[in-house]
DNA sequence: GTCAATGGTTTGTCCGGACAATCGAACTTC
DNA sequence: GAAGTTCGATTGTCCGGACAAACCATTGAC
């Protein structure tokens, strides 16, 4: 019985534009990714071997491998030596990224809004100084914001930032997220150290978030670093557990 | 004024063993990683250009690049075109991985223990069936465990698993983590979809975890998939917020 | 003094080739 | 029929080279 299993990439309109400044491997990986998203490459199907694929596209094998590897890193493909490359049966949504709550809510169609509660300079407490790597008592920015979705409070965000990093404009703080402002100021975010916990609301916290005293809160503390290793932000956030939870995908790094 | 900034890798004892079955790029990346951990490569220092490094080690540039790239992916190094490769000023600990609580506690020296509360076969509820991709009402394993650290309860773990995946031995469930058992059974874990939230404890939950009713709990729901896309586990866990929080590192994928 | 042009350094991308390691299936042997 | 063997297929690793793109410091022009 002949196996009618053909390389599913042959029917795809794959092809690269060599006049484009976009790297070839990136063009290919994007085309493959959209094909997977659209279901044109069905989960579990083999991809056809690299050498043949390279020949058909007029690319070298290293270039094709680079494209495939980037999708393997994203968790969309799985390679097996001696077998081939398969599309993962994916419930894959998105790995946990370093995004701001604002972008998350906006992507979910939740119409985020921000109410700026405070934007001042304060002496750094011991905790803040340790996180930001500055001297205790030295001046740092302190921002407090209330984040709303559909007009309802979702989270209380308190952030401390070193001075002189970029312009903290009150208007812009209300119209977008902090991370977007930092990126726009030329800061390259690199990594963050996070701690997620829970506690019950005090009376004051309850007032702020429209919850009762004793209501469950999700807490997140985060120190963010840029690619030079500087701490650029320290955040201490509380979320209404009734309105928010962290959703994310984890990949096994092998 | 002359800059005495020399390539710090020259003083390192770097070298590869070509008779070893370990890939050359892996040998190099490990040597670099340990050098960074030991502080022999200080944060912020340049690494010396790839071509010269390759020549010194008797390797090709692609191999050296592969080694460096793996450390960039781990967040230990940063590359800049026209500048060089720098060691990140790292607070880097560990990116969020797909680990079991058992391993986490053990790594932290917390002497974990497990009390097996239940290990039965039950018909799948709608929620479990949807998560595991089986028919509602079909039989699935149900495990309930209490996780202790230093003899104190830390978390209540309820897991559902499809039948026929591997042998669920009660003794082994008490002596190690679930993920270790799965890996030992030849299952290749690939990814997981997680949701982290908070709520207050009911009276029954309080009893189990040695907390009062109304105490804050951290909740985590997780569906884990293997590399074929099968759901291999669905977990519904509650942690004592007073004793546990999630600590992890996030990297910006660029 | 300030700004623009220049050039050197370094990483980014891409090529073509070679051999090894691993997997699965077909085949052989008992 | 079952177990071991062989073999083709596919990815993993490694090499050497070439040019492009981006960054930084220096130089030059105004």
Give the model's pLDDT for residue B9. Answer: 65
Instruction: Say if CB A216 and CB B196 are below 8 A apart.
Output: no
Alpha-carbon span B66 to B3, nearest angstrom: 30
Residue (of B71, B216, B166) closest to A198 by Cα position: B216
Q: Does the distance separating the beta carbons of B93 and A192 come in below 8 Å?
A: no
Q: Is B218 helix (H, G, I), strand (E, B) or coil?
A: strand
What is the average pLDDT score of chain A?
87
End-to-end CA distance of chain B: 37
| pLDDT, one tens digit for every residue, chain B (254 residues) | 333 345 666 667 778 899 999 999 999 999 999 999 888 888 888 888 999 999 999 999 999 999 999 999 998 999 999 999 999 876 656 666 667 777 777 777 777 888 999 999 999 999 999 999 999 999 999 999 998 888 899 999 999 999 877 777 767 777 778 888 887 777 888 888 889 999 999 999 999 999 999 999 999 999 998 888 889 999 999 999 999 998 888 888 77
Give the model's pLDDT for residue B4. Answer: 39
Q: Which residues of A touch B190 (CB under 8 A)?
A: 75, 78, 88, 251-252
Residue B219's closest chain A neighbor by CA? A198
Alpha-carbon span B77 to B9, nearest angstrom: 14
CA of B230 to C1' of C1 (A): 69
Give the model's pLDDT for residue B198. Answer: 96
Q: Does the distance separating the beta carbons of A197 and B249 come in below 8 Å?
A: no
Helix then strand then coil, % of chain B, to nearest 5:
30, 35, 40
Residue B24 makes CB contacts below 8 A (sequence gap 6+) with: B16, B18, B59, B63, B67
pLDDT digits over A24-75, tens only? 999 999 999 999 988 888 888 888 899 999 999 999 999 999 999 999 999 8
Residue A6 makes CB contacts below 8 A (sequence gap 6+) with: none
Q: How far is B229 from chain A (nearest CA, A)?
A: 4
Q: Say yes or no to pLDDT of A165 above 50.
A: yes
List C-alpha distances in Å: B2 to B5, B6, B41: 9, 11, 22
Burial grade of B191 (CB within 10 A; 0-12, 13-18, 19 or more): buried
Given strand A152-162, what is the order of strands in its sheet?
A112-123, A139-149, A152-162, A231-240, A216-226, A189-200, B246-251
Q: Which residues of A touch B104 (CB under 8 A)?
A: none
Protein residues with Cβ atoms closer than 7 angstroms to any atom of nucleic acid strand D: A 21, 47-52, 61-62, 65, 79-85; B 23-26, 58-63, 66, 80-83
Alpha-carbon span B215 to B155, nearest angstrom: 13
Residue B218 makes CB contacts below 8 A (sequence gap 6+) with: A196, A197, A198, A218, B196, B197, B198, B238, B239, B240, B241, B244, B245, B246
A182-198 in b/e burial notation, b at 16+ Cβ within 10 A? beeeebebbbbbbebbb
Residue B51 makes CB contacts below 8 A (sequence gap 6+) with: B61
Q: Which residues of A touch B154 (CB under 8 A)?
A: none
SS3 string of A61-72?
A: HHHHHHHHHHHH
**Protein residue closest to C11, using CA and C1':** B81
A 188-217 residues with CB < 8 A to B: 189-200, 214-217
Q: Does the distance separating the beta carbons of A194 and B248 come in below 8 Å?
A: yes
Alpha-carbon span B151 to B113, nearest angstrom: 7
CB-side neighbour CA atoms (13 Å) of A97: 14
Q: What is the DSSP string of A168-222?
A: --HHHHHHS-HHHHHHHTT--EEEEEEEEEEEEPPHHHHHHHT--TT-EEEEEEE
B43 reaches A (C-beta below 8 A):
yes
Residue A240's closest chain B neighbor by CA? B198
Residue (of A182, A164, A163, A162) closest to A172 by Cα position: A182
Give the model's pLDDT for residue A6. Answer: 59
Give the model's pLDDT for residue B95. Answer: 61
B48: left (phi over 0), alpha (psi -120 to 50) or beta: left
Q: Say yes or no to pLDDT of A2 above 60.
A: no
B117 reaches A (C-beta below 8 A):
no
Alpha-carbon span B221 to B239, nearest angstrom: 11
Q: Does the distance separating the beta carbons of B194 and A248 come in below 8 Å?
A: yes
Candidates A250, A251, A253, A254, partner chain B, best to mutate (most B CBs within 10 A): A250
Strand partners, B77: B87
Q: Which residues of B touch A252 (CB under 8 A)?
A: 97-98, 189-191
Instruction: Say if CB A239 and CB A211 are below 8 A apart.
Output: no
CA of A129 to C1' of D29 (A): 48
């Amino acid at each position: 019985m002949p196996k009618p299993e053909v390389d599913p990439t042959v029917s795809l309109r794959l092809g690269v534009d060599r006049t484009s400044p976009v790297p070839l491997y990136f063009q290919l990986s994007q085309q493959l990714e959209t094909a997977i998203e659209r279901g044109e490459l069905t989960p579990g199907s083999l991809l056809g071997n690299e050498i043949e694929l390279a020949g058909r596209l007029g690319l070298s094998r290293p270039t094709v491998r680079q494209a495939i590897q980037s999708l393997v890193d994203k968790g969309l493909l799985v390679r097996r030596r001696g077998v081939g490359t398969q599309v993962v049966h994916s419930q894959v949504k998105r790995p946990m990224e370093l995004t701001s709550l604002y972008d998350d809510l906006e992507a979910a169609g939740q119409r985020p809004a921000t109410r700026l509660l405070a934007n001042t300079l304060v002496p750094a407490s011991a905790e803040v100084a340790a996180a930001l790597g500055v001297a205790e008592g030295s001046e740092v920015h302190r921002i407090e914001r209330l984040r709303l979705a559909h007009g309802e409070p979702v989270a209380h965000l308190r952030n401390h930032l070193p001075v002189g990093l970029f312009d903290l404009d009150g208007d812009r703080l209300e119209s977008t997220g902090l991370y977007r402002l930092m990126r726009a100021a030329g800061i390259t975010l690199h990594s963050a150290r996070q701690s997620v916990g829970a506690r019950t609301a005090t009376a004051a916290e309850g007032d702020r978030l429209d919850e009762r005293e004793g209501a469950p809160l999700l807490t997140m503390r985060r120190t963010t670093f840029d690619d030079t290793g500087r701490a650029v932000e320290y955040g201490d956030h509380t979320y209404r557990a009734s309105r928010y939870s962290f959703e994310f995908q984890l990949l096994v790094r092998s």
